Amino acid sequence: MFLPRGHQALKRRFSSLLSPIQAQQIHNRTEVCEENLERYCSGGYHPVHIGDEFDSSRYKGEEIDSGRYKIVGKLGYGAFSTVWLAQNLKPSHRVKNRHVALKFLTADTSFEMGNTTLERSILKKLNKESNNSPGVNRITKLLHDFTFSGPNGKHSCLVFKPTGPSLSEYRKLFPGLRVPVPIVKNIARQLLQGLAYLHDTCNVVHTDIKLQNILIDTPEMDKIFDRTPTELFLRESHPVNPPDNFYMQSTSFVPEEILKNSADISIKLADFGSACYTFQHLTEWIQPDVFRAPEVILGDEWKQKVDIWNFGLVIWELVQGKLCFDGQVNATTPYSSEAHLAQMQAILGPFPDSLIKSSTSSDKYFDSQGRLMSDIHIRPVSLSSMNAHSGAVEGEEASNFVDFIHRTLALQPRQRPSAYELLQSRWLRSPLERRSSYRRGISKWR
């Protein structure tokens, strides 16, 4: 059987690892820092073990085209799920992949809408609404789903194609965590295509766009997951000692050299666990702290434009190698909404009266004159001067870049462009870089 170039990289990678026995001897629960172990309780995570098999035909209500999967290793985790690499023991016309990613939801979120979850509902709608839009290919596609009962309750399991690591890991290939601008432009275009599809075709708001939820995908990675023997993946998986042998460190399974040499990088927007419809919100308090839009903090109505705010912050972080806002007065203080709003005002200017007047919580932060009431004082600074100080983008490109980010971070939501409108921006409409420039962008830092 022909094996991809990545297979040889995997073999070299494994040859330097400890044996499974040695690894098991040194791993204990204190050496692994992943999901909260206390959430392995009634209503919480399902304890997944290497070698566990899940046959959806055993569970009531499943379609004839069922699936059977065997756990190979751990890919990641979230507050309400764990994600695992599995061998597909029963390929079908729906799930042809040799290996798949299984996302196990916690029991307390698996049936928040009666017999389903909003995440499951949205993913199925995204499949149903598929059209010729390029944005369809920028979203993780649900291949299969089923439910099962475990010691902690009844769980939903969602089946996806496995991909590479997230942008959070990918950017570590570059000095200062700064991804070269040509590559960022490519990522930005693809992400906007996905958002245009979500917002305009499906009326869906993601609400949790961050580096960890944007996954890297390349043809070479597809070959790795399709052609590499399962046994090689198994050698990467080292659970802690019993009785906690369901607990282990997440693994990428994609060798770093494959990422470094990939010219055809695609991205997939993943994790719709916090997503909602424009007309049906799970909660009004959304987004990670440092990515939270002003209208959310202030209690105003929000729709798709919260995703545009997140998008702008993600692109800034990729180019600059650091956050635009951290919501801290200084490095030793915790996040606070007061500090976050003060930073927004220092960088973006005064808050519009219209936003303050329409927000239900504005009186917590602003006085009757529209001035922030906190005693936090941050020296005004512009996005332009921040970029000039970092030197991340220079020349005419710098002004186009700063203008692009400024538009995404308009304090008044209705002044932010749509995803489709941003695709027409001067910064993204500059001549497309040749494919070799992407390769040079990476090889320059190897």
Closest by CA position to 428, among listed 260, 312, 271: 312
Distance CA 190, CA 242 (A): 43
Whether the pTM exceeds 0.75: the reply is yes
8-162+219-254 fold: Phosphorylase Kinase; domain 1 (3.30.200)
Using alpha carbons only, what angle is made at residue 397 by residues 189 and 326, rounded to the nearest 5 degrees? 70
Structure letter (DSSP) for residue 158? E
In our burial notation (b when 16+ CB lie closer than 10 A, e otherwise), range 119-153 reads bbbbbebbeeebeeeebbbbbbebbbbbbbeeebb
Residue 315: its H or E element = helix 305-320
Query: Could you tell me how many residues make up the chain?
Result: 446
Which residue positions in the chain have pLDDT lower than 50? 1-4, 13-27, 61-62, 432, 434-441, 443-446
Distance CA 82, CA 79 (A): 8
Helices vs. strands in the chain: H and E counts, helices first? 16, 10
Which value, to the nearest 10 degrees, does the dihedral of the CA atoms of residues 316, 318, 324, 330 take?
Answer: -170
Question: Is 289 within 8 Å of 299 (Cβ atoms)?
Answer: no
Alpha-carbon Rg for the chain in angstroms: 23
Question: Is 146 within 8 Å of 56 (Cβ atoms)?
Answer: yes
Which value, to the nearest 10 degrees, does the dihedral of the CA atoms of residues 275, 414, 138, 435 take?
Answer: -150
What is the predicted pLDDT for the residue at 396? 87
Strand order in the sheet with 81-88: 53-55, 68-78, 81-88, 99-105, 153-160, 144-150
Q: For residue 37, with 0-12 CB atoms within 10 Å meaning exposed, 13-18 middle and 19 or more buried, which class applies?
A: middle
What CATH code is assigned to 163-218+265-433? 1.10.510.10
Cβ atoms < 10 Å from Cβ of 368: 6
What is the predicted pLDDT for the residue at 110? 74
What is the predicted pLDDT for the residue at 114? 59
208 is catalytic: yes
Selecting among 52, 200, 208, 326, the annotated active-site residue is 208
Question: Is 3 within 8 Å of 226 (Cβ atoms)?
Answer: no
* Cα-Cα-Cα-Cα dihedral sign, residues 349, 178, 435, 225: negative
What are the respective helix, strand and coil percentages of the chain, to the nearest 5? 40, 15, 45
What is the predicted pLDDT for the residue at 60? 52
What is the predicted pLDDT for the residue at 260? 83
**How would you classify the pairing of strands 204-205 and 144-150?**
unpaired
Distance CA 442, CA 261 (A): 7
134, 143, 144, 214 from 131: Cα distances, Å: 8, 17, 19, 22
pLDDT in tens, 308-346: 999 999 999 999 999 999 999 999 999 999 999 999 999
Using alpha carbons only, what angle is made at residue 34 by residues 319 and 268, rounded to the nearest 5 degrees? 40
Distance CA 266, CA 196 (A): 17
Give Cβ neighbours of residue 131 (< 8 Å, ≥ 6 apart): 201
What is the predicted pLDDT for the residue at 324? 98
Break the chain into its structural domains and give their ranges. 8-162+219-254, 163-218+265-433
Distance CA 418, CA 424 (A): 10
What is the predicted pLDDT for the residue at 112? 63
- Is-same-fold flag (8-162+219-254; 163-218+265-433)? no
Structure letter (DSSP) for residue 111? T
Distance CA 167, CA 175 (A): 14
Cβ atoms < 10 Å from Cβ of 373: 11
Question: Is 100 within 8 Å of 222 (Cβ atoms)?
Answer: no
Say whether the peptide bond before residue 243 is cis (omega within 30 degrees of 0). yes
